[in-house]
Amino acid sequence: MKRPNGTEIRALFILSIIVPVGLVTSFRLTGILKEPPKVERITLEPVTLTLSRPTETIAITNKSVQNEWTQESALITANIDILSYHEGWADSPFYGYDGLTFKTYVNASVVRGYLSTVKISFHPVDAKAAVFVSEERWDLHLENATLISLHYWGANETDAYIKANALDSSCSVGSYIFWILLDENIQSHELQITAEVIHISEASSGIITIPIRLRIIPPEAG
C-alpha cells in the first residue's frame, strides 16, 4: 500500500477544514442549522426615591417607586413599597439599630419567547448600613417561578439577592427587605436595587437590567 507523501497529507488536512466549514455555511444558508440568537443587553436609567429619616418607629404609607421596561411584546416592572421605619428596634434583624422595612417585587410578562431567570440584587453603597432579605417562605413571593438561590445578607462589599427560574411567559418574584442603618441619624444612606430579567426568543435573547435607588437622609436635611 502506497504511503501518502507530504503534499498529499497537507491536501487532506486542508480538506478536513474546508469541508466541515462549507457544510456549516450551507446548513445556515438553507435554514437547517439556525444561527444562535443574538444577545441584547438593555440597561434602564435608575429611578430614585428619597426619604427623610423619621425619629420614631412609624408605619409609612403611600411611599413607593417603580421602574419599568416595555415594548410591544413585553412588560417588566420593578417595584418598591415602603412599609415602616424602626427606631432602635430590639428584634431581629435590627438588634437595636434603626432601619427601614419595604417590599420589593418584579413582575414580568412576554408575548413572544419565554422568561428564563429573574434576579433582584441589593447593594448598600456605604459601610454604615446593611440589608437583610427575608428567607421565610411566607415572606417570599414566587408566582410562576421557583427559587434558585437566596443570599440573605448584604453589606458594602457583598450583595444580597434573590434569584428564581421563571416557569411561564409571565411571573412575579419578590420578598420583604430590611435595610439596617448603623449610624445615629447623622448621615445619608443609599441602597441600590437592581432587577435583572433574562428573556429568550427565537430571534434574540435579552438581558434587561432595571435599577432603583433608595436614599434616606438625616431629619434636618429633609
| Structure confidence by residue, pLDDT tens digits, 90-121 | 999 999 999 999 999 999 999 988 999 999 99
pLDDT of residue 4: 53
* Backbone torsions φ then ψ of 193, nearest 5 degrees: -110, 130
d(CA 176, CA 103): 5
Q: What is the pLDDT of residue 206?
A: 87
Query: Domain limits of the chain?
Result: 1-35, 38-221
Percent of the chain with pLDDT over 90: 69
| pLDDT score of 120 | 98
> What is the maximum alpha-carbon separation in the chain?
96
* Cβ atoms of 208 and 199 closer than 8 Å: yes
What lies within 8 Å, CB to CB, of 15 at 6+ separation is none
Show the cell assigned to 78: 420593578
Q: What is the pLDDT of residue 88?
A: 94
- Residue 25: the pLDDT is 45
The structure's pTM equals 0.81
The predicted structure's pLDDT at residue 39: 76
Model confidence band, residue 153 (pLDDT cutoffs 50, 70, 90)? very high
Of the chain, the percentage scoring pLDDT greater than 70 comes to 82
Mean pLDDT of the chain: 86
Say if residue 154's pLDDT is above 70.
Answer: yes
Per-residue pLDDT of 30-79, as tens digits, reads: 554 455 457 789 999 999 999 999 999 999 999 999 999 998 888 999 99
pLDDT confidence of residue 8: 52
Give 197-208 pLDDT, tens digit per residue.
999 877 668 899
Tell me the mean pLDDT in the region 87-92: 93
**What distance in Å separates the CA atoms of residue 167 and residue 143, rounded to the nearest whole number?**
9
What is the mean predicted confidence (pLDDT) over 202-221? 88
Q: Which residues are paired to 118 by β-bridges?
A: 164, 197
